[in-house]
Structure formats: structure tokens, C-alpha cells
Copies of this chain bind each other. A is one copy, B any other.
Amino acid sequence: MAETERLTESVKELLESGRDDRLIDVLADAHAADVSSVMRELDLGDRVRIFRLLSPEHAGDVLSELDDQTLLDLVSALDEHEVSRILDHMPSDEVVEVVEDLPREQAEKILDLMEEEKSEEVHELLEYGEGTAGRLMSTTLVSVHEGLTVAQAIEHIRKSASGDDAFYLYVVDDHEHLVGLVPLHRLLTADPATPVRLIRDEDVESVSVDTDQEEVARLVQRYNLREVPVVDGSHRLLGTISVDNVIDVIREEATEDIQRLGGVAGDETVIDPPRAVFPKRLIWRLINLGTAVLAASVIGLFETSIQALATLAVFMPIVASMGGIGTTQTATVVVRGIALGDMTAGVLMRVLRKELWLGATTGLINGLVVAGIAYLWKGQLLLSLVLGLALWLNMLVAAVVGTLVPIALKTFRVDPAIASSVIITTFTDVFGFFSFLGLATLLIRFLL
């Protein structure tokens, strides 16, 4: 990222000194991804100024690289005509990526101002649901009829303006059905007179236009694909999804998993305006308050014991806290295992045994340690033993809860990542307070 920082510095200097001629050169030489990073660091006025110094093609590339928030701010500060002229230079699938992030009204206005043909293509793509293969695909691809020879196919590729991004030649039948593909490398080395039919791969992994983007990503990862052809219900070839779009999906999914486990919306970013993320944050904090009050009500049941022996209050959070780490560790591995496809029905019992074994062994060690500490601190042997036992029991509960709750959520088609600590630690908090204070209350006459 050092390159970006250097670019940011020189752009800032040139902006200050007002040397637009040099700025034009510097920006023209920079990759769109780097220009978009620079823009994030500037205020809106400078963003607009920079943006207007870019060639229309470059400006389009920069637009498709911008994060949602910066894009929104920038487009709102520009004139709709200006934006539409730039979008005219972009492939329709990239235009989709830009306009889908804009408020509907503004998007419509801009699309109306665009060239009719391009605008229609964009509208067609926008009809596919968000998060489907149709939304990800590009419609510029090279396909030939299976009856052609290699020489004819190459001639066809020469004539079509498909761009350098094509790595496969797709093969279709009379009805545009996808019936195979040929890597360009094979085409290049094949005898020109060979029919394409004879050198194609027939077993082509493809996805339907309404396939979920997560499923597309899974396919790409599983079969190491470089590109995924997209077909309609009757297997007609509609477009292709390139691997860089899939990588974006993988990153988004990972972000979603990480953030949901942390009790945050899957699409929040560090620079989102606070007002935008306020509702989601508040909801999880209120849910957490609910679970905390529930745990407190368990403590409330034993207020008399605590009144009699305040030391109980000192130790009880330790039991809850250890249950928390136990269940969080377990649930984290299980949730990730589900996402990676490792956590299948066939291994459930094995995982449960593993977690119970870990809960029992680490629980025993931690229980002995905490009992030792408590004994040295307070000198009450029985209380120390009750503390150690409650901790050990809570680690077993943590193993079961941490394994089964994510799987249960998955079974009910709820994203297991929302089994965030907020939810699962409720079990261990409640059980931890209950077991420790309950045992202590049963034995209270020996503890005083």
C-alpha cells in the first residue's frame, strides 16, 4: 500500500499548488484502484476536482473501484449528465455495480440520460435479483457454433470486439445452448482445420442466472475455476462471471461472517456514517441488555446467599466468563467449518466428542487453578471446590452449546454466524451463575 500513500502525497501537493497539468499526468499513469484510494482520503471538493481531470474511460474505472460511501458522496456532488456520459463508456455489468449503490431516483435519472442501448442492457441486468449470478455476470464473451473449425473460430474472435479479458472460447449449439468450452491456449495450438467440437471440454461447470452468489463462489473455490459461464433455465449461454468478481464475493462473505459473529451488520465498514449503522448497533446492544438482565435475574434468585456471603459475588463472574470463552471458541470453529463446508452431518458426533473432551480437560485444569487461587485468596476450601466444580460444569455446557446452536441455526436456515457471542454466551452466563450460586446455596451452612 506504500504506492497509494506516495500517490496520495503527490496528489495532495499538486492540488495545493494548483498544478492541474501535472495532476492530469500523474492521475493518468495511476491504476484506477489507487486513484480510488486517494479519493477516499480527500474532501468532497477535491474529489470532484480530481475526478473531472480523468479521461472518461479512466473515470469509469475509478467509479467502479470506489467504496459505496465515497461513490454516493461523489455522484451526489456531480451533475447527472456528467455521470451518464462516463457510464456510457463502461461495460454494462460495471454500470450495474455503480447504479445499484445509488438511491433509486438518482439511478433512474442517470440511466435515462445514457445511450439507449447501453441503458437497456443495464436495465435488463438490474432485473436479476441482488446477490445472484445474473448481477455478477458480464455479457461480453466469445462464443462460436460447435460446427466451426479452429480457423473459423479464430477468425470469429478476430472480428468480435470482446476485449483482452477473454480466456475461453465458449461453444454453443444451434439454439445457443452451452455445449462446451475451449481454453484459448488450446485453440492457439490446435490444427486450424480441426472442428472446434473435437477439442472442446464438454464437462463445463456452469451456473444458472438466479444462482446465489455464495453458491457461485463455492463452485469456483471447489473446482478451481477461472471463469464461470452463466446460463438461463434452458441452458442458453447468457454471460460469464470472472474470478475477480468472485473474489469480491468471497471477501464480502468473509466480512459478513466476521462481523456477524461480532454482533455487527455484515456490510458495515469503518467509515460508514454513524447514523447509518446506529439501528443495527442499537438492536444488538438492546438484545445483549436483554440477555444480561436475564442473567442478572438468575443472580437475583440467590440474593440472600450473597447477602450472607459477599465473596460469592466476587467469584461468580469468573464462572460465567470461562463459559463465555469456551462457547465462543467452539462456536467460532463450528461456524467457520460450516462456511468452509467442513462441518458436515457425517462429522457432527466427532466434533461434539472433540469439544466435550476439550471442555472436560481444559475445564479440569482451569477449575483446579481457580480453586487454588480462591483458596489462597480467601482460605475457604469448600467454596474453592464449589467454584472449581461450577467452572468445570460450565465448560461442558459451553462445548455442547457452542457446537449445537450454530448447527441448529443452520438447520433452520438462519445464518449460523448470528450465533454471535451475544446469543450463545447467554446460556453459559445463566448456567454459570445458576450452578455456582446454586451449589453454594445448597452448601451455604457449611460455607459461613
What is A's interface to B at a CB cutoff of 8 Å? 1, 8, 31, 33, 37, 40-41, 67, 154, 157-158, 162-167, 183-189, 218, 220-226, 242-244, 246-248, 250-251, 254-255, 257-259, 261-264, 268-274, 277-278, 281-282, 284-286, 288-289, 291-293, 295-296, 299-300, 303-304, 306-307, 310-318, 320-322, 324-326, 328-329, 331-337, 340-344, 346-347, 350-351, 353-355, 357-358, 361-362, 365-366, 369-370, 373, 377, 421-422, 429, 433
Contact = CB atoms under 8 A, between A and B. Distances in A.
A258 B257 contact: yes
A262 B292 contact: no
Contact of A67 (B163, B311, B315, B342): B342
18 contacts: A33-B224, A37-B341, A67-B342, A167-B167, A167-B183, A167-B226, A184-B185, A226-B226, A247-B247, A261-B262, A264-B333, A269-B342, A274-B354, A285-B329, A289-B322, A310-B310, A312-B313, A317-B433
A188 B157 contact: yes
Contacts of A336: 255, 258-259, 270
A184 B166 CA distance: 9
Nearest to A272: B354
Copies in the complex: 2
A358 B277 contact: yes
Nearest to A433: B317
Given A31-B223, A258-B258, A188 B251 contact: no
B1 A341 contact: yes
A350 B165 CA distance: 39
Given A271-B351, A292-B321, 10 more contacts: A40-B344, A165-B183, A165-B185, A243-B243, A261-B262, A262-B329, A264-B332, A281-B358, A288-B321, A300-B377
B358 A263 contact: no
Contact of A329 (B251, B284, B286, B304): B284
B313 A299 contact: yes
Contact of A251 (B281, B300, B340, B373): B340
Contacts of A421: 324-325, 328, 421
